[in-house]
A and B are shown apart, each in its own frame.
Chain A
């Protein structure tokens, strides 16, 4: 009884490995899909069931690939869509996320990045776990979720749980949005007292040009043709007569 079962198991596994090969391109998507739990992979499941499952997984991967690009051009549309509301409701994207770390005190910095190449880590950060959430400077509603409404400061990555790469992108997007005027921020008060705006000092006012230029001469006298004094030339020639050819 055990031997034929073992043989079928080996055959099944070989088949499964061969069918899962085309899906190796999308391992990240596989992991990000809602987990299809097949409780304790039954050993006596016929191979046809595996083929159907592989095909449906392939379709889901394709759909997920389309979903990746669906909000790429307009990432702010996702925050109004039904799937967003169903998944997050009114709470911010990072609420409820819990970092996995050893000991009671979490490390001062979150992980460097959740996605390396094609591989995604276990327990990805709130931004990496949802491919539809794209950090863009025009995606103001998303950026607002990461800014404290009371102090106006950006939340630290230890508070929200995002990886360092996404935190850096977030900071850059927030500064760009503030530059464009999409996000308000506190502006310091400028004092105007005791400053002289007459612009009469030489450094910023007009200096009169030197008389040589006003006459029409060049800047230095030797820029233009300089005819030597005949007497001086004669005297010099006389002193060096022995050396002249």
Chain B
């Protein structure tokens, strides 16, 4: 009975859908869809935006008329709503319909209510005042006995609900936590989560109920409650420590496969991140992937976790491996995440960057700007004094290309961070480079950059470094470069840049010997007269002029300027001009006020203005009223207004720091000057950010802070590397120059770039070989060796190859080390090289992207090793062995299954690594599906796993041995599944997939599907004629049908023979022109067949205990009879 119900249920929506265009109840729907349809079609037919606007306005006005007409039925209202939503989506205002949406949700029946709620949730936002009108409806629906209404109400509550009305519905929703339906419980939990987000205080008292939800028997409810816990734990991580046990239990269940692997799994992980659960993390890191994307997402979270908790070497190793998997993935999305993860861990473990340097280089030239940006972010984290030029150059390149403001701000901040903010240890290699880079940064970043950047830059210039002459040179260079920049015609610089220029020119023009201050002033004056310069910048400019005036000898320009600006409309400018005018009258005073190169010294301002005491005394003696500060005057004014003070305390005013006499003008003068010159001295440095966190935690736990910044990361590389490097060196010296040239130019460039980028990250030995060992103490005197190498002319070719090769073998070495490969590290020197060669040779077999990089040098490497008389391994060539495998496969299954009939093996899917073929074995009690999986590749496959998607008509049970931990190279393994039928059908598809891990790379999966027919489950039923008679009477479901037979098969025996062979029916008896047959559908549903032949017609009469089986069998019979 139940399958009838189910069948009808599933058929029902189809029925309705089919009926749509027809009349009757579905007519309304049809008209609705056609009206929306005509609107949509109308819009798509239009060509211009203007026409569209016209059409929509027309539509809206007609809608407006309809919705407000009293005759409009709810049904019509519903379709109006849908069209309104559509218009609103196109970006037109449909606010007149909002109130009607609420009305519809309130009054409509289920269908209309649903659309009404949807419209409300789309139209309104949390703080919309109309939302208050919805509260009553929601309350009513929450109390409804109809599940669907409750669901709708809960859905709308968890999307938008006015905060102040939460108390009205809270008890109702709380009740729903105990509801018998899990969907209601789940939605209630999510609604409470929403409440927790918008008003945490209101739901505080039901925290205990959340705990119940966490232990709910339904997975969905449990998962929903995790959202709440994630939030609460983020806010207060110590408060929920006692729940760790529950989380771990859930996690265990997931890992143990008791619960479905789920999205929310990652939330759980995030929850757990807060607690240290090394054990379980290890477990998760090793689980094999079923849902590939999902598991990768989880892996990513794990890696995140591993690096954010207290480090444990074993875990870190695993995490590093995972990151490798991500970075090396050919899929761009995974690569992106790999880079992200690298960025995240790089500060703790810079050697990881070394392992992946070639990938990073590749990503740097990636066509996708997002990948590029992520790479730059990564590089930014590993910037040091040696690689700064290259990295900053890359950043600037990117900066010039990008247009997005957010990106520019971000990147400019980073460059400046590298160069300026980090004043204690700026990485800039020399003056010219530093100033030029800053110029580029200022002109691109311009006005969007953070205001700290110019301030810090100026402070750096002003405060200088240890070496005074060096500082002077830097300043001189800055002044010169700015003057040249200003000389250029028709170039507009950002205001910030102009401000920086004017300050520098004002302060340090005295360093110039060629140009006089007057000439500088003339240039500044030109700028001042420029309309495109903002008034703020003009004040900077005029301040610079003021500073230069005492040094100048001719005052033409200054006087012109004063003349010009004392009548300026801008009060600020006017004030400055007047100040300049008055100071200009007294040059001596001006000189002492504006000393040369004293910007770093604090001006001592007599804030009490004691030098005016005499003047004040004089005034007082002449009868002037004494000065009252502002608050005193205010108080007096108030006390005059109120006769009686009824308040317990009088109004109090905070007294300012300045007491007694204070003149606003004096203060403003002082602050103007200091604002332009000395303010930078007070600045707090932001450099803390970059230091300190560099390497506190390492693989071995806490690392004591080391002195040197560059040597910091050494020690992570194993010691023997040095000797290997030397070996390479020797080998290369023996080598022919011509061999060196076999490397393509592009490769060389890339490797050069790599060596220049990752310099300083590895151990000292690497640096030595690269010829960059000379660590100079002073940062500015350091010449960029990278540049020299790059120019290529000065250094010999030999030198170049040396460096590239050493970096290369470095990578290779890292690679095997990381892969943890075949041999133990007994005889390290030899082994490493042999491994290298193996890697190089086997590059055609393995898919490792990294290995491809070495393809170019694979030509030269053998001779390299030959020179050192080392053994070269040749991995087995296993390219075209699949043919042989095919045959062995066939023989292997024949052996074990001879006693049953089986189908021929068919290859159902394959890829370069594996091929899967399947065959059926029709056993007496079930259908046995066998999938044989052949590993074609020369590599071991790990955790090969075959999974069958659940299908509604079957029950699939796996036979033992379906998950293989390891699958050797070129071997064949078979997976057996027994299939039971649950419901009759004609033909169904059974599909599944096989997943496996390549030894070191990504995991992969391969999908396949197999057709199963009803006949696979039909077995002969061997009974006697008497039994047949008894059974025949007991069965209620029967089907009769006449089948026409062709001439050739007209005889009954022949027809029955066909049925016996093709359908596996058992012939019980043949009596004259009648025949009795029987069969059973596995596991044990009998079906009887009575046949009678007259003329060329075969009358078939089926009876069975199952209602549907006769139909299906009849169909099969017809097919067979027609086909034969």
Q: Do A and B come from one complex?
A: no
